[in-house]
Structure 1
Amino acid sequence: MSEKRKADEELDGSEAKKPQLEEEEKKEPDAADSSGDAKPLVQGPEHAGTLVVCGQFNWDMVGKRDSKQAAPAVPQGRTLWSPHIFGPLKDVRVRVATSGGCSGHNVIVTEDGKCFTFGRNVKGQLGLGDEERRDIPTLVESLKGEKIVGAACGRHHTLFLTDRGEVYSAGDNKCGQCGVGNTNPVLTATKIKHQGAPIVKVSCGAEFSAILDCRGVLFTFGLPEYGQLGHNTDGKYFITSTKLGFNNETKPKRILMYIEKQGRDNHSTPVDDVDIQDVACGVNHTVAVDSKGRVFSWGFGGYGRLGHAETKDEMVPRRIKYFDTQTRGIKKVFAGSTYSLALAENGNVFSWGMTKRTGEANMYPKPVQDLCGWDVRSIGCSVTSVMVAADESVIGWGCSPTYGELGLGETKKSSANPTEVKLMDGIHVHAIEMGMGHTLMICRDESEQDKANLADLPVYNI
């Protein structure tokens, strides 16, 4: 691996419940009601709750190596070493809270489908029409007429999913990762260039994106440098004899082939009847699972994050052989900066790649033994940190340096092994997401006991 590629990944390193399509409307994706308006086709998560956060909330500093800078003109966030109720949304029930492993910005969707963004905004990724940082969640005015049910965050771009199965984007678009058909910056949430069946899931890598429709068809767009788009090319060409360029995909393009490699010569054969059910994007790699529980990965192969027992880049989605021997299939996949995770139907969690900055990597999937017996619901992935919502607890691990995203307190800022977050004991977390150095948790707040448990947490007021 080149030193530049390694440095980029170390510096800048999802899981929301996959929106479910209503069966009746899945048969008629273009149906309209009697008033002539399009029917909602995609349902977001059924849960809603109180937003609890921890980690680095100084958006100008997260992920930066140089801590020397002038004092800010206006107040900005601080580091939360333990979980806090997010003060600006204390009395607001949240349905979706999204960030990304290489992201310093966030998307919040309230119970009634209103969309708010906050955090870093150097490329207009908040969709607010400017490039000014927001410390407090701000309503995305250009989406006021839409009901948002999902979102995804890349390094400097964002995708928004509506209940009609349409996708909007904002932010950095130099590689076409916003999918609007060109490479111009997108400062206001704009509908992507895609026609077809309703989209039910969106995911972002650093400079690329993936969208999944209700028929199990996967589309990707953006930077193809390591094959992460799955179109059998890395898009490289020479602009001059010494300058390299890439043929970026500026609008969604369907992935046409899925393969498996067999025999000593790794002969490639197509895999038939692939109906993708979930997809996750790392910085420069992609992982997906189909309706038969088969897992595919492609893109940058460094540190074994593709799970093929080698570090070769893959230009086409390749089936991970390890899962062929498992008694139950995989139902969800997750991707961090240099690693991947999978959740099986029987509750087992598998990990491959590298979740630390030094030492050996797992070149193929291995079960996370410390999570055996836990009822895992949701997993968040960051640069080298992982957070898991299971039973009435939160479990996290990640090697130093960390920025409070594990919520373990100032006396224990990192952990090489899965460790329970004591302040979250007894709190039921519906969904958990991680940014580059922070964690977002949607916590159940329905019963009096739920509210009492949450009342013990401090409140973070900006």
Structure 2
Amino acid sequence: MSAVEAEKKHAEEEGKGGGELLFCGATCWDIVGRKKGAQEGNLVAPTRLRPLVGVDIRFVASGAASCHCVALDVDGRCYTWGRNEKGQLGHGDRIQRDRPTIVSDLSKYKIVKAGAGRSHTVVVTDDGQSLAFGWNKHGQLGSGSVRNEVESSPVRCLVSDVRTTACGADFTVWLSSVEGSSILTAGLPQYGQLGHGTDNEV
């Protein structure tokens, strides 16, 4: 049994059910992180998001540096919402979305894990592929190219047998089953966070 198959079996043993997503915090995406003391639009108590009522959510990704959110349901659909000036929502445009919206370009995949950076998103499929979208100025999408600084639709990452992923502000980490277990990184090593022995280099 491959590591990917073992991971899938483990996920099935944990149960196929998800849960209801409750959200609290900032929702006025235009001012998040931009205006001190802005309170307008903040949800100060856990709140149901109308588009996700009745949807069983299995996984949620966001982060301290990101102003967008990713939610995955039990059927592998990927919902994104929030700021989108760098295409980090994956809908092929740069239109902000205030409501969770299914990423239609991922509909042929079953998405099981996700990570959210400052302006990029990385997802993992049930068969170990990884796709990414958003800002790619530092190569954080792992596509092997920084020619297009913005990828507003999902592109394939140059990693395989991926088990999970996580994003920092401008970098990405993947855990792969290649050769037992491998940690792969891409993006901005501003403080050496990629672990490649470099600093302030891409």
TM exceeding 0.5: yes
SS at 2:2's partner residue?
helix
Number of the residue aligned with 1:49:
19
Post-superposition Cα deviations, 1:28-67, rounded to whole Å, max 9, x if no partner, equal: x6xxxxxxxxxx6743574401111111111111111268
Which of these two proteins has the greater Rg computed from alpha carbons?
1
1:191 aligns with 2:161: no
Q: Distance in 2 between matches of 1:41 and 1:58?
A: 41
SS at 1:50's partner residue?
coil
The code of the aligned residue for 2:172 comes to S
* Correspondent of 2:133 among 164, 167, 170: 170
Q: Distance in 1 between matches of 2:7 and 2:34?
A: 38
Post-superposition Cα deviations, 1:297-349, rounded to whole Å, max 9, x if no partner, equal: xxxxxxxxxxxxxxxxxxxxxxxxxxxxxxxxxxxxxxxxxxxxxxxxxxxxx
SS at 2:21's partner residue?
strand
Structure 1 pair 137–212 and aligned structure 2 pair: CA distance change class (3 A): same
1:25 aligns with 2:2: yes
Count of residues in Structure 1 that have an aligned counterpart in Structure 2: 192
The code of the aligned residue for 1:225 comes to Q
1:131 aligns with 2:108: no
The Cα shift of 1:216 comes to: 2.4
Whether the 8 Å contact between 1:94 and 1:109 is mirrored in structure 2 is yes
**5 Å matches for 1:18-167?**
24-26=1-3, 42-43=7-8, 44=11, 46=15, 47-65=17-35, 78-167=41-130
The code of the aligned residue for 1:200 comes to R
Post-superposition Cα deviations, 1:146-200, rounded to whole Å, max 9, x if no partner, equal: 00001000000000010001110000000110111111111101111224xx111
SS at 1:175's partner residue?
coil
Number of the residue aligned with 1:370:
none
Post-superposition Cα deviations, 1:57-109, rounded to whole Å, max 9, x if no partner, equal: 111111112689xxxxxxxx821111112222111111112111111111111
The code of the aligned residue for 1:131 comes to R
Whether the 8 Å contact between 1:92 and 1:110 is mirrored in structure 2 is yes
Bigger mean CA offset, 215-224 vs 144-153: 215-224
- Name the TM-score, length of structure 2 as normaliser: 0.88
Post-superposition Cα deviations, 1:201-252, rounded to whole Å, max 9, x if no partner, equal: 1000010110001332101000012100001111x4xxxxxxxxx3x1xxxx
The Cα shift of 1:25 comes to: 3.3
**5 Å matches for 1:138-287?**
138-183=101-146, 184=148, 185-195=150-160, 198-214=161-177, 215-234=180-199, 236=200, 246=201, 248=202
Post-superposition Cα deviations, 1:84-136, rounded to whole Å, max 9, x if no partner, equal: 12222111111112111111111111121111111111100011101110011
The code of the aligned residue for 1:113 comes to G
Q: Distance in 2 between matches of 1:91 and 1:200?
A: 28
The code of the aligned residue for 1:49 comes to G
The code of the aligned residue for 2:195 comes to G
Q: Distance in 2 between matches of 1:154 and 1:147?
A: 21
The code of the aligned residue for 1:158 comes to T
Q: Distance in 2 between matches of 1:144 and 1:53?
A: 24
Which of structure 1's runs of 4+ aligned residues deviate more than 6 A? none
**Identity among equivalent pairs (%):** 39
The code of the aligned residue for 1:50 comes to E
The Cα shift of 1:141 comes to: 1.4
The code of the aligned residue for 2:61 comes to T
**5 Å matches for 1:354-373?**
none
Whether the 8 Å contact between 1:42 and 1:162 is mirrored in structure 2 is no
Number of the residue aligned with 1:372:
none
